[in-house]
Amino acid sequence: MHGPHTEEHFKETASVRDIVIGMADGLTVPFALAAGLTGAAVSTSIIVTAGLAEIAAGSIAMGLGGYLAARTDSEHYESERQREIRECEEIPQEEAREVGELFRGYGMNDEQIAPVVAAISGDRDRWVDFMMRFELGLEAPDPKRARNSALTIAASYIVGGLVPLAPYIVMHQVIPALKVSVAVTLAALMLFGYVKARYTGLNPVAGAFQTVLIGGLAAAAAFAIARAIS
């Protein structure tokens, strides 16, 4: 006998999206920075210092961006909900007509629609929830979403950023550290792109190579420009 089925699509999708956002930038930006500084022929200590500073600043900026985006979604939902509450109280006939139109779009006739509309409009909160979901297409956001989004994006950025920087931390020669950084970062980008594509239903191989291509081009461009200038 199976237990009750619980769906967590919204939370899981949002968390995975946050990981993707943080990890993608975390792998790419510090990688390009380290490659660029290597091209400028600076020491590993400078690269590590600049890299750690960038990871700190980037994780805070990205986390704050995720927090503000989630807060905006929450505020938008609450604003729309208050509007629906006012409409259900001030123009109930119009709102009831809109409920009927929604069901009419599924092929139901007036005789079938009437008791359904009466049942839904009999409870204000249920009525408002119905209009929010089926008229506006809005789901109630998780009240912890903003905090969780900020922490997830920031943590993912830090983890991703430490991958290309790690070789410079443990090695003292710049060029050998760059070679190791390129190898481990491209491998991480490939794995990340593969997993992301599989989760989103895209071609995993194409997703892996696309992610590697973007990260590799960013690092190569930064290295070439720094080498040309220096």
**Residue the block writes with tokens 């983890």:** 159
Give the other-Cβ count within 10 Å of 12's Cβ.
11
CA distances, 44 to each of 54, 115, 168, 184, 227 (Å): 15, 73, 6, 17, 16
Low-confidence ranges of the chain (pLDDT < 50): 1, 5-11
- Cβ 48 vs Cβ 179: under 8 Å: no
pLDDT, one tens digit per residue, over 59-86 is 999 999 999 988 998 888 888 888 888 8
- Among 189, 203, 227, residue whose Cα is nearest residue 30: 189
- pLDDT of res. 8: 45
pLDDT of amino acid 195? 81
